[in-house]
Amino acid sequence: MRIETALVFFSATFLAVVAGIYWFTSYEDAGTTTLALGAAAYGMLAGFYFVQARRLTRRRQRRPEDSPDATVPDRSVAIGYFPAASVWPAAMGLGIAVIALGLVFGYWFLVVGTILLVGGIIGYAVEAQARP
């Protein structure tokens, strides 16, 4: 987790510095806010990676990716099954889009979007459980 933590922390720091430079050179609110929120998002991800790395250190476990003398077969384990071609992610995306429309146009869109989203999640979960 060392590499991931350092990379994401660098990205957060870079965006924070760019947000500061952008603010002092342009005094424009929207771009500065976008850059600052991007830095905050990377900061949260870096914090998550840091906590996970500390948890692995406390358990005295080491990932093969963190070991300098690791080989490719060390990490060749089954990760899990994921459905390759499915319509359910599109249904979930449509549900989220309709929910977003509901925030603008009214509660009926929220109801329909929530039904689409929940149906898409259930369909994807059922399809993932039914392995070929």
pLDDT in tens, 56-105: 878 777 666 666 776 766 666 666 666 678 889 999 999 999 999 999 99
| pTM reported for the whole predicted model | 0.55
Task: Spell 3-28 as b/e; 16+ CB within 10 A means b.
Answer: ebbeebbebbeebbebbeebbeeeee
> What's the pLDDT score for residue 53?
83
Contact between residue 92 and residue 124 where contact means Cβ atoms under 8 Å apart = yes
What is the per-residue pLDDT across 8-34, written as a single tens digit (0 to 9) for each? 999 999 999 999 999 999 989 999 999
Kindly report, residue by residue over 31-46, the tens digit of the pLDDT: 999 999 999 999 999 9
